Structure 1
Amino acid sequence: MAGSVDPEGEVVAEVRKGSLWHDGNFLTMWSGQALSQFGEQVSLLGIPVLAVVLLHSTAFEVGVLDASGLAAFLLIGLPAGAWIDRMRKRHVMIAADVVRAAALAAIPALWALGLLHIWQLYAVAFVIGVATVFFDVSYQSVIPSLVRTDQIAEANGKLEATAQVAHLTGPAIAGGLIGLVSAPFAMITTACTYAASFAALSFTRDHERPRPAHEHEPLRHEIAEGLRWVFGNPALRRIVGTTSTSNLFNTISGTMLPIFLLRELGMTAATMGVILSLGAVGGLLGAIATPHLVRRLGEGPAIPISAISFSVVAVFLPVAAMVPQIAFGLLVVQGFVMSFTVLVYNITQVTFRQRITPPRLLGRMNASIRFVVWGVMPIASLVSGGLGTWLGIVPTMWIGAIGQLASALFVVIGPFWAMRELPDGAGNPA
C-alpha cells in the first residue's frame, strides 16, 4: 500500500475505499493493540489480587500499588508526547510490548524463588505504567496516518470494541487462571500476550516518517505547543474537565474495589472476574451502538448525554453494600451501563480530538490530555488508600461515587447540545 507525504512532512495513508476490513496496515496494528489490551486486563486484575490475597496487603499498600502503575502519566506524560511526535509510533508500540513482557515475567520468577514482596510489585507496576504511556499515546496518535479522515470514527469504534472484548473476557479468564495456577503464574499469560502483540506489530507495514531533526524545537517549546493547542480550544477544555474529574473519583472508588468485593462483600477472585466481564458486555455493545446513537442524537449531544449516564450509575457501586443480597446483580448492571455510556463518550470525543488536531501535534495533544485525565489517577489512588484506612472502605466508595456525579457538569454546561456535527480541523462540520 503506497503512502504520500503532505506539506507538513506527515504521512497520509492511501487506503482503498470502503471498510477498514480491507486495510492491511490497520488490521495488523489492530491485532497488536487487541493482544496488548487483553494482556493488560489480565494484569489489572492479577496484580491487585496477588497483593490482597497472597501478600495480605493493607488498604494503603493497595493504594500505593495502584498509584505506582499510574504515576507515569503524571511524571512523564507531557515529555512522552513530544518524544513520540519525533519517532515512528509503531516502533514505540513494539518497544513498549517488549518492556511490559519482561517486567511481568519477573513476577512468577520472584514468587517461585520466595522473594516476592510488595515493593517489587510497586516497581513492576511502575515499569509497566511507563511502557503503557508510550504504547497508548502512540496507538491513539497513529490512527490518522493509517486511515482517511472519514474512517477515523470507524477505526476508533473497532479499537474500542476490541478493548471491550478484552474487558469482557480478560477478567473472567484472569479469575480462572488465578484460581487454577495462582496469581503469580497467571502473569505468564499476560507476558505472552505482549509478546504476541510485538509479533503482530512487527508485521505491520506503515509509511510514517518522523519529522526531520532540524524541525525539532526545544522539548519545553514542543510541550508548551501541545498544551496551548488543548487548552486553547473551549470544547477540548470541557472534555478534559469532565474526563479528569470522572477519572479522579472513579479511581478513588476503583482502587478499593478489590478489597470491597473480596473482603467487604466476601466474593471470590473468580466472582470478581465474572462481574467485571459481564459489566464489560455493555462496553462491547456501546462500541457497536455508538455510530447509530451518534446519528440519532448528534455528535455534540452524544457527549453530555453519555457523561450524565455514566456519572449517575456510579452511585450503584456503594449502594451494593447496603443490599448485599442483590449486590451481584446490582454490580453487573452498574458495570454494564457505565461501560456502555463510557464507550459512547470515548469514541465520540476521541474521534473529535483526532479530527481537529494537525498530524504533527497528535502525540502531544493525546499526551497533554492524558497528563491531566490520567495524571489525577495516581494521586487519587493514594488518596483512596488513605481514605480507606481512615474512614473505611464503604465510605471511600461513597466519596468516589458522589464526586463522579459532578463530573458531567463541564460538558453539560457547554456548546455541545447545539452541535449536531462537531467541527473538523478547518472548523467546519465534518
Structure 2
Amino acid sequence: MSDPRRPVPPSLWRDADFRRLWTGQTASQIGEHASLVVLPLFAVLTLHASAGQLGVLRAVGQAPILLLSLFAGAWVDRWRTRTTMVLTDAGRALALGAAAVAGLCGVLGLPALLVLAFAVGALSVFFDVAYQASLVRLVERDQLVRGNSALEGSRSAAQTGGPALGGALVSLLSAPVAAAAGALFFALSFLSVRRIRRTEAIPERPGPTPRVWRRIHEGLRFVAGDSALRAVCLASAVFQFSFAAVMTVYLLFLPRELHLSGTVVGLALTAAGPGALLGSLLAARLPARFGHGAVLVCAAAVGDGVFLCVPALHGSSAVTVPALLAAGFVFGCGGQLVNVTVMAVRQAVTPDGMQGRAAATITFVGMGMTPLGSLAGGLLAEEWGLRTSLLVTAAGMMLSPVVMALSPLARLGRRLPAPPAARAVTGGEDGGQQAAGGATLRT
C-alpha cells in the first residue's frame, strides 16, 4: 500500500494531460462559481426578487442534481470523461452567451433566469461527475491524494476568483457582462480539456451492455451495501440541505440586513477560497498524521460551526466585513479538508468501472437535497426573518459532523484504504454488482 506522505511524484505535474485537466477544471469552476453569484445577485439587486423568489431560483438551478446525477453516473462509466467535459463546457458557454445577449436586449427577466439556471445546472452535473472520474483514469492510484489536492486547490482558486468576479461585474457593470465573462471561462475550459491526448481505458464488461436503469441500480446497490457509504450519504444530505438553506438566507442577509453592496457581498463570498486552498494543502498531510476519521469529524465540526457566529453580526461594515471574511476562511478550510480527504478515499476503494456511478449516487443523495434546502431557506426567511432563519439553518449544518462521529467514518485510520478482493466487481445473472468493505465520500 502506498504511503500518502511520500513526496509528489515528479510525473504528476510533468504529465501534460494532467496539466490540461487541471487548467480546464480551474477555468470551468471559475465560470460556475461566478454564475452562482451572478444570477442570484441580478435577481436581488436588479429584479428586486423576494426571499421566496430567490429560493425558487436557487432551487431550479440545483434541481438537476436531484434529477440527473444518477443518469450522469451511468453515462460517465460508459463514455470517455474527456468527451463529457468538452460537451458540457461548450453547452454552458453557449447558454451564458445567450443570456448575455438576452440581457443586452433587455429581456433577461426572472423567467429567463430560471431557464438559464436549470440549463447551466444540468450541464454542471455531468461535468462534475466526469471530472471526478477522470482523475482515476489519468493517474496511478497512489497519486490520488496528491492529484485530488491539486484539483481541489484549483477549485479553491475558483471559489476565490469566481464570486469576486461575478459580484464585481454585476455591481460595477451589468449582469449581461458578468454572464459573458462566465461564458469565456467555460470556453477556456473547453479548449484545454479537448487537448487531452491520452486514450482512456473504458472498463469493459462481459456480455451485452445493461440498460441505463440497470447500471443506475448497480451504483445504488454498491453504495447502499456499505455502512460507511450510507453514513456519508446521510451526513452529506443533512449538510447540503442545511447549507443550501443557509446560503439562500445569507445572500439576503448581507445586502438587506448588513447593507453591503454587491461588490462587498462578492468579496465576503470569496473568503472561503483562500481557506479552501489552505484546506487542500493540509489535506495532503493531516490524514496521514492524525487519521482520516479524526480529520473528517474535527474539520466538519469547526468549519460548519463557524456559521453560528454570523447571525450575531451588527454594526458598520468596518466590523462586519472582517468578521465575515474570517468566518468564510474557516468554513472554506474545514470544508475542503473534508472534501479532499473523503474523495481520495472513495476513489481508492471504488473499482474503476463503478467510479462515475459511486460519485453520482452520493451526489444524488447529498446534493439532491439542495433544491429543498433552498426552498426551505426562502420560506424561513419570509416567516421568521433573516437573522433568526440564519441561526436555525446554521445550527442544522452541525448535524453533519455528529452523524460522522457516530459512524464508521470516525474510525478511519492514517493509511488510505485499498479495495479488498471482495470489492472486485462481479456480475451475476442479473448483471448486478456486489461490494464489501468501506468507502467514504462527502460531497
> What residue identity is the alignment partner of 2:42?
L
Match of 2:429 in 1: none
TM-score (norm 2): 0.89
CA distance in structure 2 between the aligned counterparts of 1:391 and 1:278, rounded to whole angstroms:
27
Give yes or no for the alignment of 1:280 onto 2:263: no
Match of 1:5 in 2: none
Deviation sequence 1:382-407 (CA, Å, 0-9, x none): 11122222222222212211111222
Q: CA deviation at 1:104?
A: 0.8
Corresponding residue SS for 1:95? helix
Gap change, CA 1:225 and 1:409, over 3 Å in 2: same
Match of 2:4 in 1: none
Match of 1:339 in 2: 332
Give yes or no for the alignment of 1:227 onto 2:220: yes
> What residue identity is the alignment partner of 1:197?
S
CA distance in structure 1 between the aligned counterparts of 2:9 and 2:388, rounded to whole angstroms:
54
Give yes or no for the alignment of 1:131 onto 2:123: yes
Match of 1:424 in 2: 418
Q: For the Cα contact (< 8 Å) 1:316–1:331, is it kept in 2?
A: no
CA distance in structure 1 between the aligned counterparts of 2:14 and 2:287, rounded to whole angstroms:
24
Q: CA deviation at 1:204?
A: 0.7
Structure 2: runs of 5 or more not aligned: 1-7, 422-436
Give yes or no for the alignment of 1:26 onto 2:18: yes
CA distance in structure 1 between the aligned counterparts of 2:26 and 2:277, rounded to whole angstroms:
13
Q: Give 1:30-45 correspondences, 5 Å limit.
A: 30-45=22-37
Of the three residues 163, 176, 189, the one matched with 2:168 is 176
Q: For the Cα contact (< 8 Å) 2:299–2:334, is it kept in 1?
A: yes
> What residue identity is the alignment partner of 2:290?
L
Q: For the Cα contact (< 8 Å) 1:318–1:401, is it kept in 2?
A: no
Q: Give 1:248-259 correspondences, 5 Å limit.
A: 248-259=241-252
Q: Which moved more, 1:81-90 or 1:176-185?
A: 176-185
TM-score (norm 1): 0.92
> What residue identity is the alignment partner of 2:392?
I
Q: CA deviation at 1:134?
A: 0.3
Deviation sequence 1:98-138 (CA, Å, 0-9, x none): 11111111222112222121011000000001100100000
CA distance in structure 1 between the aligned counterparts of 2:251 and 2:378, rounded to whole angstroms:
12
Gap change, CA 1:404 and 1:221, over 3 Å in 2: same
Q: For the Cα contact (< 8 Å) 1:356–1:424, is it kept in 2?
A: yes
Q: CA deviation at 1:418?
A: 3.7
Structure 1: runs of 5 or more not aligned: 1-15
CA distance in structure 2 between the aligned counterparts of 1:296 and 1:129, rounded to whole angstroms:
37
CA distance in structure 2 between the aligned counterparts of 1:370 and 1:168, rounded to whole angstroms:
23
CA distance in structure 1 between the aligned counterparts of 2:62 and 2:180, rounded to whole angstroms:
22
Of the three residues 54, 67, 72, the one matched with 1:62 is 54
CA distance in structure 2 between the aligned counterparts of 1:117 and 1:179, rounded to whole angstroms:
17
Q: Give 1:123-272 correspondences, 5 Å limit.
A: 123-210=115-202, 215-272=208-265
Q: For the Cα contact (< 8 Å) 2:163–2:269, is it kept in 1?
A: yes
Q: For the Cα contact (< 8 Å) 1:42–1:190, is it kept in 2?
A: yes
Q: Which moved more, 1:147-156 or 1:236-245?
A: 236-245
CA distance in structure 1 between the aligned counterparts of 2:127 and 2:182, rounded to whole angstroms:
16
Q: For the Cα contact (< 8 Å) 1:321–1:394, is it kept in 2?
A: no
CA distance in structure 1 between the aligned counterparts of 2:175 and 2:18, rounded to whole angstroms:
34
Q: CA deviation at 1:212?
A: 6.1
Q: Which moved more, 1:161-170 or 1:316-325?
A: 316-325
Q: CA deviation at 1:176?
A: 2.4
Q: Give 1:28-107 correspondences, 5 Å limit.
A: 28-107=20-99
Match of 2:432 in 1: none
Gap change, CA 1:241 and 1:73, over 3 Å in 2: same
Match of 2:398 in 1: 405
Corresponding residue SS for 2:284? helix
Match of 1:303 in 2: 296
Gap change, CA 1:290 and 1:274, over 3 Å in 2: same
Q: CA deviation at 1:305?
A: 1.5
Gap change, CA 1:412 and 1:429, over 3 Å in 2: closer
CA distance in structure 1 between the aligned counterparts of 2:73 and 2:315, rounded to whole angstroms:
44
Q: For the Cα contact (< 8 Å) 2:348–2:416, is it kept in 1?
A: no
Gap change, CA 1:179 and 1:418, over 3 Å in 2: closer
Q: CA RMSD in A?
A: 2.1
Q: For the Cα contact (< 8 Å) 1:171–1:277, is it kept in 2?
A: yes
Corresponding residue SS for 1:267? coil
> What residue identity is the alignment partner of 1:21?
W
Of the three residues 383, 396, 405, the one matched with 2:389 is 396
Gap change, CA 1:103 and 1:392, over 3 Å in 2: same
Match of 1:10 in 2: none
Match of 1:326 in 2: 319
Deviation sequence 1:364-393 (CA, Å, 0-9, x none): 101100001110001111111222222222
Q: For the Cα contact (< 8 Å) 2:137–2:201, is it kept in 1?
A: no
> What residue identity is the alignment partner of 2:420?
A
> What residue identity is the alignment partner of 1:414?
S
CA distance in structure 1 between the aligned counterparts of 2:241 and 2:273, rounded to whole angstroms:
21
Q: For the Cα contact (< 8 Å) 2:276–2:334, is it kept in 1?
A: yes
Gap change, CA 1:397 and 1:237, over 3 Å in 2: same
Gap change, CA 1:17 and 1:329, over 3 Å in 2: closer
